[in-house]
């Protein structure tokens, strides 16, 4: 019997052309979320004590419409600026969103999976709000940020925080007086699998 490197390859295929197990586990994309806790970005203590039932069936995508950030230090500073504005100027209990994503590919814990946010009027009790740091009206986000959003959504489904058949919307879909999440980002998310082009209907 002759044997060569190709015959002995761990990436061999069976006679039907299906790839055989290579002995290397493939890590699910949701396990690749680079999550930074509130403590890591030095968030202020929340005043929020209102929780929502999970899994939620609706996710809204936002942008902060402020400065972009591409490194951890500048993203943390931007987060603190936004949190101060939301708490001190708007009078909210915390930064508005459940999670915030930087163009460094990091996901920053804001209110988290379980606390009611202040991101989308009329929907905060039943939806998760994710926001990208930056203004994406005329520029597209870094691909690292888009990957981070998709991985976070998969993580939410895997952990039972988001329904497997969830519907995805841009902020402007619920409130036609805003351009959020910016046209360039909106054009991208409308091509994602869970995006729903019909007007959102509140489950309450």
Q: Is residue 15 predicted with pLDDT exceeding 50?
A: no
Residues forming beta bridges with residue 108, ordered by sequence position: 36, 100
Q: Mean pLDDT for the chain?
A: 88
pLDDT digits 0-9 by tens, 113-156: 999 999 999 999 999 999 999 999 999 999 999 999 999 999 99
Cis peptide before 78 (omega within 30 of 0): no
81-85, 92-96, 196-200: segment of lowest average pLDDT = 196-200
**Span 59-88, average pLDDT:** 97
CATH topology classification for 56-189: Lysozyme-like (3.40.80)
Query: Given this model, what pLDDT does residue 81 score?
Result: 98
Going from N- to C-terminal start, the domains of the chain cover 56-189
């Amino acid at each position: 019997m002759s044997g060569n490197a190709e015959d002995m390859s761990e990436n061999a295929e069976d006679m039907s052309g299906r790839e055989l197990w290579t002995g290397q586990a493939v890590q699910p994309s949701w396990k690749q979320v680079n999550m930074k806790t509130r403590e890591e970005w030095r968030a202020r203590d929340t005043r929020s004590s209102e929780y929502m039932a999970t899994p939620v069936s609706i996710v809204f995508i936002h942008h902060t419409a402020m400065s972009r950030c591409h490194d951890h230090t500048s993203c943390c500073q931007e987060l603190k600026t936004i949190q101060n504005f939301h708490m001190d100027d708007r009078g909210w209990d915390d930064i508005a969103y459940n999670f915030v994503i930087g163009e460094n590919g990091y996901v920053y814990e804001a209110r988290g999976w379980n606390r009611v946010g202040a991101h989308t009027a009329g929907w905060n009790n039943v939806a998760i709000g994710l926001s990208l740091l930056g203004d994406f009206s005329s520029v597209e986000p870094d691909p690292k940020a888009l990957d981070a959003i998709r991985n976070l959504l998969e993580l939410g489904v895997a952990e039972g925080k988001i329904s497997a058949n969830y519907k995805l919307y841009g902020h402007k879909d619920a409130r036609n007086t805003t351009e959020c999440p910016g046209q360039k980002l909106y054009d991208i998310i409308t091509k994602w699998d869970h995006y729903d082009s019909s007007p959102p209907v509140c489950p309450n």
